[in-house]
Amino acid sequence: MNLTDILVICICALLNYTKGENVDNISEFIHTHELPHRTLTECGDTITANNGTIQYKLNQTYDANELCVFMIRFESGFVETTFTLDSNGFSDSDFDAISIFRDMAGLGYETNLGLDRQTVSFFGYGAIVVFRTNSSLGTGFQLSFTPDLIVSEENFAGNNVLFDDESESPLSIPFPSNYIESAIHNYFCITSASKVISEPDTFLKLNVTGFFGDVDNSCNNMIEIHSFLNQLKIEKLICGGEDDGVLFEFATRGIFFVFHRQANGLPITTGEITWEKVSTG
């Protein structure tokens, strides 16, 4: 199926159906007929699976300053996995455009993939993949992941969600769909429209307040903030009595990763996360 076919389907659909229906039909059509099963194609797509594929702008020109996030949870728990960059059209200015962060019940940097390196193996509960570009001189990629070994079937409930729009702020903790009896790991990624902020004196600002009720200062319940632009930066591990109810403020031109852990048998953390793109110039 080529682009012309898709256009014909789109136009026919527009003529025949109301907007909502035709969007559903087209996406259903493309998903079932164009792409292999378990394929992530849009910034913010998430998956719970041991194997799958990310296919983003393959053979299509990307934009400069893209900051596109894909989130993966391994279905079986703690897994040794291999990520392979099957195909890419990256320009030299974007030679290492893919950054992979492993979920070790907390976020860690693993490696970059691109023109110099196409494969990596590591252990984790999942991964966050970020595609970041400096130029618009290349085309996108296909990246796949497969399990090598299921190490432990220990699993955590929770959500992986990208917020790339200020209208979704504020976010309250506990997250609505969290069920409270079990351990919860949430990963929230926050960007400004899935782009690096390039305007001068302009930042994505983040405010975080948590009430942990942690009388033992165990820090088993926590909210951990990282930012990423050119490298992963730990901003703050917020937990314990000292941080209880304190407002923490952060700023980046890239992305915020918010890891929220709720442990078994501890008071439920409550709190609020707000963000806004702010120009200080």
Ligand X SMILES: *[C@@H]1O[C@H](CO)[C@@H](O)[C@H](O)[C@H]1NC(C)=O
Phi, psi of 6 (to 5 degrees): -60, -45
How many CA atoms are closer than 13 Å to the CA of 147, on its beta-carbon side? 19
For ligand X, the closer of residues 74 and 101 by Cβ is: 74
Q: Shortest gap between Cβ of 144 and ligand X (angstroms)?
A: 6
For ligand X, the closer of residues 133 and 262 by Cβ is: 133
Q: Applying CB under 6 A, does 207 fall inside the site for ligand X?
A: yes
Residue from 45, 94, 110, 235 binding ligand X (CB under 6 A): 94
Residue from 42, 63, 242, 249 binding ligand X (CB under 6 A): 249
Question: Site residues for ligand X, window 165-204 (CB under 6 A)?
Answer: none
Q: Shortest gap between Cβ of 188 and ligand X (angstroms)?
A: 14
For ligand X, the closer of residues 134 and 178 by Cβ is: 134
For ligand X, the closer of residues 153 and 276 by Cβ is: 276
Strand-pair partners of 47:
72
Q: Applying CB under 6 A, does 25 fall inside the site for ligand X?
A: yes
What are 174's two structure tokens? Answer: 């506990």
For ligand X, the closer of residues 10 and 58 by Cβ is: 58
Question: Site residues for ligand X, window 28-87 (CB under 6 A)?
Answer: 28, 36, 38, 51-53, 58-59
3-state secondary structure the chain: CCHHHHHHHHHHHHHHCCHHHHHHHHHHHHHHHCCCCCEECCCCCEEECCCEEEEEEEEEECCCCEEEEEEEECCCCEEEEEEEEEEEECCHHHCCCEEEEEECCCEEEEEEECCCCCEEEEEECEEEEEEECCCCCCEEEEEEEEEEEEEECCCCECCEEEECCHHHCCEEECCCCCCCCCCEEEEEEECECCECCCCCCEEEEEEEEEECCCCCCCCCCEEEEEEECCCEEEEEEECHHHHCCCCEEEEECCEEEEEEEECCCCCCCEEEEEEEEEECC
Q: Shortest gap between Cβ of 194 and ligand X (angstroms)?
A: 17
Q: Applying CB under 6 A, does 230 fall inside the site for ligand X?
A: yes
For ligand X, the closer of residues 7 and 247 by Cβ is: 247
Q: Shortest gap between Cβ of 207 and ligand X (angstroms)?
A: 4
Q: Judge contact between 134 and 96, C-beta under 8 A.
A: no
For ligand X, the closer of residues 59 and 217 by Cβ is: 59
Q: Shortest gap between Cβ of 233 and ligand X (angstroms)?
A: 13
Which among 72-80, 90-98, 181-189, 219-227 is the span making contact with ligand X, rule CB under 6 A?
90-98
Closest CA to 193 of 255, 138, 243, 237: 255
For ligand X, the closer of residues 146 and 220 by Cβ is: 146
Which among 89-97, 118-126, 155-163, 213-221 is the span making contact with ligand X, rule CB under 6 A?
89-97
Counted residue by residue, the chain has a size of 281
Q: Shortest gap between Cβ of 21 and ligand X (angstroms)?
A: 5
Residues in the site for ligand X, rule: CB under 6 A? 21, 25, 28, 36, 38, 51-53, 58-59, 93-96, 134, 146, 205, 207, 230, 247, 249, 274-276
